[in-house]
Amino acid sequence: MRAKNLLKVVIPMALAIAVVTACGAKSGGNESSTTVKSADVTTSSASEESNTSTASNSSSNTSSSSAVSTASFPITMKHAYGETVINAKPERVVTLDWNNADAVLALGIVPVGTARANWGPVTDKGLLPWTEAKFKELGTDNPNVFNDLEGYDYEAVAAAKPDIIVAPYSGMDEKAYKRLSEIAPTLPFKETAWKTTWREQTVEAAEAVEAAEALGLKSEGEKLVADTEAFIKESLAKYPNLANKSVAICYINASDLSNFSVYRTADPRGAYLTDLGFTFPEKVEAQAKDKNAFYVQISSELAVDALSDTDIIITYGDDKTVAALQKDAIFSKIPAVKEGRVVVLDSNGNLAAACNPSVLSIKAELVNYLEAINAVVK
C-alpha cells in the first residue's frame, strides 16, 4: 500500500494504477490473440503519380505500387495482450497515456484526440508545453484533449472516430484494451506496463501509423531516434565533468523520511540517466529484491549505506526538500546530501515531467536538465 501511495504522488495518476497491474497484464495477455477491426483508409497507389511516364515506366510503377500496397498492409503488431491487425494505413490517430502524443507528433502526424497531461507544467489546453508547441507547429491550435484524468473516456475516444489507438507507453489493462479495441485497432505496451523507453515508444508509434517495418524501409521512428541520440551526444559534450558520475533518481518525501524509493534502469527515468552517461549506484541495485521491478523501496535505516556511493541524488520535491534532508539525523550522513549534491525537481516544473522523456521533451529540456545536474557537482 505504501508503494501504491508513493507512485500516485510521483508519476501521473494513471501510472500509479499501472504499478499494481503491470505484472498481471504481462502474464495474462499472451495467451490470447485479438484481431480488431481494421482502419477504413487504404494506401495510395504509386501508379497515380506516373501518368506522364512512358508505357514501360507506367507498367513498372504500377507493379511497384502493387508490391508496396501488398507488403504494407495488413500488418500485425504483437503486444502484451496478443496481436493487433491493422488492415489499412491509419489516417485518424488517437493517443492515450503519457508521452504517446509526442511520438506521433514528432512523426508529423496530428492526433485527432489525445490524453490530458496530469503531471508537471500542464498548460491551459491540458498538455505539456513541448506537446502543445508541436501541435501548433503542425497547424493545430486547439487539439482534442480528452478529460481522462480518472480513466479512459471511451465515449470521447469513440467520438474522435480513430483508425488506430496508440499507447505503447501505458498501464492499459486487458479489460481496457478489449473495450478500446471495439472502437479501433489498439496498440498497448509490448511486454510490461510503464517500461517502454522513449526509443521504443517512438519506433513502435512509427510502425503502427506508417507501417515502416512492413514496407521494408528504414523506419521514420528509427531516424527520429538516431537524430535525438545525436542531439544527446552533442549536448553531453558540453559537460565533460558529468561523465561516469553515479546518479540516483528518487522519490523522497521530506515530510516522511521513514523510507524512500529509487527508480531503477528498468524505469524510463533511470534508463534516461544511463543515456546521459551516468551510472546506476551499485549499492542501490543490491537492494532490489525483485529484479523486474522498476523501482526499489529502501527503509531510512539503510539510506546511508545504499546511497553512500551515489555522486548525485535527483528527487521530486520543493525548495524545502534539501534543508529537510540535511536536518535529518540519518539522511544528513549521506555524502551527497551533506555536500549539497541534490537536484530537486519541482513537481510543477518542466523537469519533473521531462525527466520521464519523450522524443519531444528531450529536445526541449535536456540542456536544462544537464544544467541542473551540473550545478550541484562539486
Residues 206 and 243 in one domain: no
203: enclosing H helix or E strand: helix 198-210
Q: Identify the pLDDT of residue 347.
A: 87
Q: Is residue 230, in this structure, part of any structural domain at all?
A: no
Judge whether 51 lies within some domain: no
What is the model's pLDDT at position 220?
Answer: 85
pLDDT of residue 53: 35
Q: What is the pLDDT, as a whole number, of residue 47?
A: 32
pLDDT of residue 326: 97
Kindly state whether residue 46 falls inside one of the protein's structural domains.
no
The pLDDT, as a whole number, for residue 292 is 79
Higher pLDDT, 69 or 339: 339
In a domain, 33, yes or no: yes
In a domain, 250, yes or no: yes
Are 310 and 252 in the same domain? yes
> Is the peptide bond between 74 and the residue preceding it cis, with omega within 30 degrees of 0?
yes
Assess whether 332 and 300 both reside in one domain.
Answer: yes
Asked if residue 303 belongs to a domain, the reply is: yes
Residue 312 counted as domain residue: yes
Q: Is residue 264 part of a domain?
A: yes
pLDDT of residue 13: 34
Label residue 18 exposed, middle or buried (CB < 10 Å: 0-12, 13-18, 19+).
buried
Determine phi and psi for 177, rounding to 5 degrees. -60, -45
User: Any idea which residue has 531510512 for its cell?
Assistant: 300
Q: Is the pLDDT of residue 307 over 50?
A: yes
The tens digit of pLDDT for each residue in 137-153 reads 999 999 999 999 999 99
Domain boundary pick from 217, 251, 285: 217
Helix, strand, or coil here: 143? coil
The sign one gets for the Cα dihedral 141, 147, 150, 156 is: negative
pTM across the whole model: 0.80
Give the pLDDT confidence of 34-61 residue by residue, as tens digits: 333 333 332 233 333 333 333 333 333 3
Q: Which residues contact 166 (CB under 8 A, 6 or more apart)?
A: 93, 94, 95, 96, 100, 103, 104, 111, 187, 205, 208, 209
Q: Considering only residues 3 and 167, tell me which one the structure prediction assigns the higher pLDDT.
A: 167
Are 168 and 77 in the same domain? yes
Q: What is the CATH number of the domain that holds 179?
A: 3.40.50.1980
pLDDT value of residue 212? 55
Domain count for the chain: 2
pLDDT at 216 over 90: no
**pLDDT over 50 (residue 208):** yes
Mean pLDDT, residues 179-201: 96
- Please give the pLDDT value at position 293: 86
The answer on 155 and 31 residing in a single domain is: yes
Please check whether residues 141 and 252 belong to one and the same domain. no
pLDDT above 90 (res 15): no
The answer on 291 and 201 residing in a single domain is: no
The answer on pLDDT for 14 being more than 70 is no
% of the chain exceeding 70 in pLDDT: 79
Q: Is the pLDDT of residue 214 over 60?
A: no
Same domain (yes/no): 123, 259: no
d(CA 95, CA 89): 16
- Per-residue model confidence (pLDDT) at position 75: 86
* Predicted pLDDT of residue 211: 63
Query: With 60 as the cut, is the pLDDT of residue 338 above it?
Result: yes
Do 146 and 272 reside in the same domain of the chain?
no
Q: Do both 365 and 253 map to the same domain?
A: yes
Between 82 and 17, residue with greater pLDDT: 82
Q: What is the mean pLDDT of residues 266-271?
A: 95
| Residue with the three cell numbers 555536500 | 339
Q: Do 139 and 105 lie in a common domain?
A: yes
Averaged confidence pLDDT in the chain: 83
Does residue 207 sit in the same domain as residue 251? no
> What would the pLDDT profile of 90-118 be if each residue is shown by its tens digit?
999 999 999 999 999 999 999 999 999 99
> If pLDDT is split at 50, 70 and 90, which confidence band does 359 have?
very high
Give the residue numbers spanning the domain of 366: 238-374
pLDDT of residue 213: 54
